Structure 1
Amino acid sequence: MTALATTPSPAPATDEVRTVAVVSRKAPIAFAVVTALLALLLALQGREGNTNFRFSAEGDLVRIPDMAVPGMPLAWVSVVVLAVLTAVAFWLVRAARRIPTWLTLIFVLVAFVAFLAWAGAGSDRDFPVVRLIGGAVLLAVPIVFGALGGVIGERAGVVNIAIEAQLLAGAFSAAVAGSVTGSPWVGLVAAVVAGVLVALVLGLFTITHKVNQVIVGVVLNVLVLGITSFLYSQVLVPNAQLNETTRFSRISIPLLSDIPVVGPALFEQTIVVYLMYLTVPAVWFALYRTRWGLRVRAVGEHPKAADTVGIKVERTRYRALMIAGAVAGLGGAFYTVVSVSSFGKNMTAGAGFIALAAVIFGKWDPVRAALAALLFGFASNLEGALSVVGAPVPSQFMLMLPYVVTLLAVAGLVGRSRAPAADGEPYVKE
């Protein structure tokens, strides 16, 4: 008998797919820089005394006692917490894991606590926490609306540098329409129309004529600023009755407004603020849970593939831009039917560019972009809060603080982010 020769069978092929997580060191480095700067501030400019926090206002149904804490010890404890969070961020990067959003939010919150504890040490006045939160929400309203408009536009593949123009046009239109009719509701509708018109001009040049989107956005910002400044000087100043709007009154929501600390700050606001509360989840739902949102994201990621399955790329982008312009127009109306009763030259003061930064900081997600806008609003409101307690911080520094926070957020805290693949690229059908 002869033995049969056998050959070893090849090893079965596996379909295992290895994924490599690409992480960025920018966020932990930014954490480390902020922690070091705060520690240096505390070491070189130490202050004595307590920091007083006031959590309730007169007339609140539920009152929380005021709190006096040692300012410098609280600040140093906060710096230690920041150092721990920084170490966690470096460990996550070393383990090739992404830094979660909640870690960044906690870091920012603790950093603000450290700064407030240092700034209020030794002052005989209280930090009004309710006023600090409420003012931050108000200052963030136009930035939130602008950021939501930016998210919608860029998800469709159009870089919306013209958010500033949409906010400014909305503010001007709301002022004139509200003054002529005496109704802030008419002003609100006029602001929406103005935002849509600016978006249509942006779409005409970028979608139809394939002009560079960044250049068109910058030109629109300058154009709208020039037009509104000219009309303000030549029309509104000689005719003051055209620039006296009726503002929305505050509406207190029962039960919710009685929640300690956050109730009066969040639920004793105007209808525009409540619209903001509704618009954020509405935009999130529309983008991620509807057929329209799927098409918008498809034309922003791969317009050619979307076109092959029957999606009209240009039509989808136009509709997205118009909706984005309407949302941004609501933010512009805030200036003249909520904040003040008249229009002023360049009254948006760069809020559109901060909204654009919030889009990047929020990684093109509506909820994250709204949270980023709230961060910038809080930074803008710090000037008033620090002036109340007489903090030894130059007013010039506080005026530039929102922009410093913007730079840190975009350059460091955001970590690695990826815009929609076709963002800024005109679609040319072959």
Structure 2
Amino acid sequence: MGLVDTLSIIISATLIWAAPLIFTAIGGAFSERSGVVNIGLEGLMVTGAFTGIVFNLTFAGSLGDATPWIALLVAMIVGALFSLLHALASITFRADQVVSGVAINMLALGLSLFLVKIIYGKGQTDIIREGFGKVDIPLLKDIPVIGDIFFNNIYLPSYLAIIVAILVWFVMFKTPFGLRLRSVGEHPMAADTMGINVTKMRYIGVTLSGALAGIGGAVYAQAISSDFSHATINGQGFMALAALVFGKWHPLGAMGAALFFGFAQSLSIIGGSLPLFENIPNVYLLIAPYVLTIFALAGFIGKADAPKALGTTYIKGNL
């Protein structure tokens, strides 16, 4: 196997495993930059995965190739609506944000499995027929070497995730909306004094996190697992949260961390076919992403500065 072929396999696998993490991590950036801890990213991904698969199975016959893309939009809407429960509990009723996030995780998984049992009569859904397949990017695939590595036989959601991460960076750091969002996460009282509605901005941040996590879950389910069960997401939301912290609550940093974790996860799938990893027992490749997550956080979490008002409730008029 030549170097170009090896790199093509590694990069293609890395990008598709990283895509759900990128969507979810940058969604978490919206929530946590506004000052609301969102441990519920795992549950929001579960909601998106469930919605995407059920919609896909239901409408694949009539929508054809467009089914997985429309399923992403539906999962985005459902994820946003589901995240309002976290916003209501943690912002309006001032509940502990970590406890609320844990409750979201438990509710999402329990409710999804209950509905799967009712709809399909078993513990998991059927396998979808219309998923995200590999495609070639016209013109770009013809670029010597680079085209074969980056634009040949790839998944479109992977590049969509990268584009969205760049757009989120621009919105968060180059627009008035982004400045207002970050201000309520750093010093909500000062933001309130300047006429910014702290509650509204935090609701928007949490809702956007739910929308993007819903997309992340639907991408994972339709591109990697192809069905929904209790083990479909299985820690991906927590890994996305780790990527957010590892990336220092910055959209581009979170994207880079998600690519790193995506590479680690892809090794368990493609490692056996690569000369460098073929002699490594598969069990080590399976645990690699989780071990690397622990090492990454242990090495960098002390150096990462979270938004100053992260996890604190704000009561208008209180000093």
| Amino acid across the alignment from 2:271 | L
Higher RCO (CA-CA < 8 Å; seq separation 6+)? 2
Give distance in 2, aligned partners of 1:131 and 1:221.
Answer: 33
| Amino acid across the alignment from 1:354 | M
Instruction: Tell me: CA distance 1:147–1:246, structure 2 relative to 1, closer, same or farther (3 Å).
Output: same
- Residues matched between the structures, number: 308
Give distance in 2, aligned partners of 1:241 and 1:392.
Answer: 35
SS in 2 for 1:224: helix
1:255 maps to what in 2? 139
Say what the alpha-carbon RMSD is for the aligned residues: 2.1
Q: Is the 1:205–1:216 contact (alpha carbons within 8 Å) kept by the matching residues of 2?
A: yes
1:199 maps to what in 2? 83
Instruction: Tell me: CA distance 1:394–1:248, structure 2 relative to 1, closer, same or farther (3 Å).
Output: closer
1:317 maps to what in 2? 202
Q: How does 1:237-316 map to 2 (within 5 A)?
A: 237=121, 244-259=128-143, 262-267=146-151, 268-316=153-201
Give distance in 1, aligned partners of 2:97 and 2:244.
Answer: 16
Q: Is the 1:245–1:342 contact (alpha carbons within 8 Å) kept by the matching residues of 2?
A: no
Determine which of 117, 125, 131 is the counterpart of 1:233.
117
How far has the Cα of 1:239 moved from its partner?
11
How far has the Cα of 1:345 moved from its partner?
2.1
How far has the Cα of 1:261 moved from its partner?
5.3
| Amino acid across the alignment from 1:298 | S
Determine which of 15, 38, 54 is the counterpart of 2:2.
54
Determine which of 140, 151, 157 is the counterpart of 2:18.
140
- Structure 2 residue 236 is matched with structure 1 residue 342: no
| Amino acid across the alignment from 1:154 | E
Give distance in 2, aligned partners of 1:152 and 1:327.
Answer: 10
Instruction: Tell me: CA distance 1:131–1:283, structure 2 relative to 1, closer, same or farther (3 Å).
Output: same
How far has the Cα of 1:248 moved from its partner?
3.1
Structure 1 runs not aligned, ≥5 long: 1-52, 58-127
Deviations 1:294-335 (A, max 9, x none): 000000000000001100000011111111211111111112
| Amino acid across the alignment from 2:264 | A
Deviates more, 1:376-385 or 1:245-254: 245-254
Instruction: Tell me: CA distance 1:259–1:382, structure 2 relative to 1, closer, same or farther (3 Å).
Output: farther
Determine which of 218, 227, 230 is the counterpart of 1:333.
218
Give distance in 2, aligned partners of 1:266 and 1:326.
Answer: 28
1:38 maps to what in 2? none
Structure 2 runs not aligned, ≥5 long: 61-66
How far has the Cα of 1:266 moved from its partner?
3.4
Determine which of 43, 58, 61 is the counterpart of 1:180.
58
| Amino acid across the alignment from 2:297 | V
| Amino acid across the alignment from 2:50 | F
Give TM-score, length-normalised by structure 1.
0.68
Q: Percent identity?
A: 39
Give distance in 1, aligned partners of 2:148 and 2:79.
Answer: 31
Instruction: Tell me: CA distance 1:253–1:358, structure 2 relative to 1, closer, same or farther (3 Å).
Output: same
Determine which of 279, 293, 298 is the counterpart of 1:411.
298
Q: Is the 1:171–1:332 contact (alpha carbons within 8 Å) kept by the matching residues of 2?
A: yes
Instruction: Tell me: CA distance 1:213–1:343, structure 2 relative to 1, closer, same or farther (3 Å).
Output: same
Give TM-score, length-normalised by structure 2.
0.90
2:64 maps to what in 1? none
SS in 1 for 2:303: coil
Give distance in 1, aligned partners of 2:123 and 2:291.
Answer: 39
Determine which of 212, 232, 254 is the counterpart of 1:369.
254
2:63 maps to what in 1? none
How far has the Cα of 1:338 moved from its partner?
2.5
How far has the Cα of 1:265 moved from its partner?
4.7
| Amino acid across the alignment from 1:421 | K
Larger radius of gyration: 1
How far has the Cα of 1:396 moved from its partner?
2.0
Deviations 1:335-391 (A, max 9, x none): 233234322223011010011111111001000110001001111112233322473
Give distance in 2, aligned partners of 1:238 and 1:304.
Answer: 51
How far has the Cα of 1:224 moved from its partner?
0.9
Q: How does 1:96-245 map to 2 (within 5 A)?
A: 128-182=6-60, 183-237=67-121, 244-245=128-129
2:313 maps to what in 1? 426
